[in-house]
Amino acid sequence: MNWREKVLDFDNIGDRGEGLKGLIFDVQKFAIHDGGGIRTNVFLKGCPLQCLWCSNPESLAYKPEITFVTNNCIGCGKCLEVCPAGAIHQGETAGEDIIIDRERCTLCGQCAKHCYAGAINIIGRYVSVPDLMQIIERDRKFYEQSGGGVTFSGGEPTAQPEFLKAALAEIQKRGIHTAIETSSLLPWDVYASILEHVDLVLTDIKHMDDAEHKRLTGVSNQLILDNIRKISRLGIPVKIRLPLIPGINDSDSNLEATAEFVEQLSNVQSLDILPYHRLGEMKYRQLDISYPLKGVESPTVEHVEERIRALRERGLNISVGG
């Protein structure tokens, strides 16, 4: 999103308005690790999975949310003054930050509008396909020059199937390469109708063991794996992504099972290893949510290489970091 859209559009917060709209929480330009070339990444809000290591907690809920970035707060107290719901109050002790009562908050956006320091933000905006196209078109020459395009990510982009389909169709119609980054957790008929407009699929395999998968993400992996097999039969190029979480899914047996599964597919461009990182941890604080994966350290480069050596030896096309 450009500066103005990111910061200054306070008028339509939380308002679906008329017509088909998608709830997005970010647009990132010059994305270079998600599907080839220079891309624009569109992040749709809401996700059916609850992965313990999720680095985008603000992407999970299917509604706009309010965040508070402590470091940016200059303590001017304007938010306390303008909140019509009385949902913001000063912390008890001196020097303490403000506290947002999320039960009372109506997401009217007044606090964010008056927070000049940008400490309070509303995450999530409803946009129409034409609005989105305006942003996407601005970087068209970069896509053409670099072999890039547009990637829909999330959250889970397929969780807003009608909007996603309409956006993808429009982008493809204009000759721009399309990709989606998805969990592949959705009914096949809906998935198939989306895939008609997709040039490249980036999809995760988080764990091969169903029980473990449920424990880690809250859902079964059966539908996910079935869907990935079906995409293979359609012949759409796929990059499989494996978030590598130390002690969680990086055992020899799970990596081997993942490799065996991937080897049965016919359309895989690469297996991308995404090493766990804790950059998302601070975002949990900003949302007043506790971080579910406490105590897990980011793996070292050596650890990652040691873990995936066997995968490389099998002859798989591995990339680290997407």
Partner 1 sequence: MKSLHFLESTIIANKAVIAFANRYADEADRLAAAEKDATRKAELLEIARICRKVPAQPAETFQEAVQSFWFIHLVIQLESNGHSISPMRFDQYCYPFYAASKDSMSDGKVQELLDLMWLKLNGLNKVRDENSTMAFAGYPMFMNIIVGGVDREGKDATNELSLMLLQAAANTKLYAPSLSVRIHEGTADVLYMKAAEVSRMGLGVPAFFNDRTIIPALLSRGLTLEDARDYGIIGCVEPQVGGKTEGWHDAAFFNMAKVIELTLNNGYDKRTAMQVGPQTGAVTEMKSFDDVMAAYTKQMEYFVGLMCHADNMVDLAHGQNVPLPFLSSLVEDCIGRGKSLQEGGAIYNFSGPQGVGVANAGDALTAIKKLCFDEKVISLPELKEVLDKDFEGAENIRQMLVNRAPKYGNDDDYADEIAVESANIYCREVNKYRNPRGGQFQPGLYPASANVPFGGVVEATPDGRKKGTPLADGVSPIGGFDISGPTATVNSVAKLDHEVTSNGTLLNQKFHPNAVKGEEGLRNLIAVTETYFKNGGFHVQYNVIDRKTLEKAQEKPEEFASLVVRVAGYSAFFTALDKSLQDDIMSRTEQVF
Position 310 contacts partner 1 (CB under 8 A): no
Binding span for partner 1 by CB under 8 A among 22-30, 180-188, 233-241, 256-264: 22-30
Position 7 contacts partner 1 (CB under 8 A): yes
Binding span for partner 1 by CB under 8 A among 31-39, 209-217, 252-260, 309-317: 31-39
Pick 4 or 294: Cβ nearer partner 1: 4
Position 301 contacts partner 1 (CB under 8 A): no
d(CA 275, CA 33): 14
Pick 137 or 256: Cβ nearer partner 1: 137
Position 139 contacts partner 1 (CB under 8 A): yes
User: And the tokens for 74?
Assistant: 């200059």
- Least distance (Å) between residue 141 CB and partner 1: 5
**Strands, E, within 210-296: which ranges?**
238-244, 268-275
Position 76 contacts partner 1 (CB under 8 A): yes
Partners of 27 in the beta sheet? 42
d(CA 141, CA 27): 17
**Cis omega (within 30 of 0) for bond into 155:** yes
- Least distance (Å) between residue 213 CB and partner 1: 30
Q: Cα torsion at 63, 34, 219, 51 (round to 10°)?
A: -70
Pick 77 or 91: Cβ nearer partner 1: 77
Position 211 contacts partner 1 (CB under 8 A): no
Pick 37 or 237: Cβ nearer partner 1: 37
CA angle, 262 then 292 then 99, to 5°: 140
Pick 117 or 192: Cβ nearer partner 1: 117
Among 12, 20, 30, 222, binds partner 1 (CB under 8 A): 30
Phi-psi region of 158 (alpha: psi -120 to 50; beta: other; left: phi over 0): alpha
d(CA 102, CA 169): 37
Position 28 contacts partner 1 (CB under 8 A): yes
Cβ pair 255, 314 in contact under 8 A = no
Position 298 contacts partner 1 (CB under 8 A): no
Query: What sign does the CA torsion over 286, 291, 295, 297 have?
Result: negative
Position 136 contacts partner 1 (CB under 8 A): no
d(CA 121, CA 127): 17
Position 63 contacts partner 1 (CB under 8 A): no
d(CA 92, CA 89): 9
In the complex, which residues of this chain contact partner 1 (CB under 8 A)?
1-4, 6-8, 28-33, 36-38, 74, 76, 78, 116-118, 138-139, 141-142, 145-148
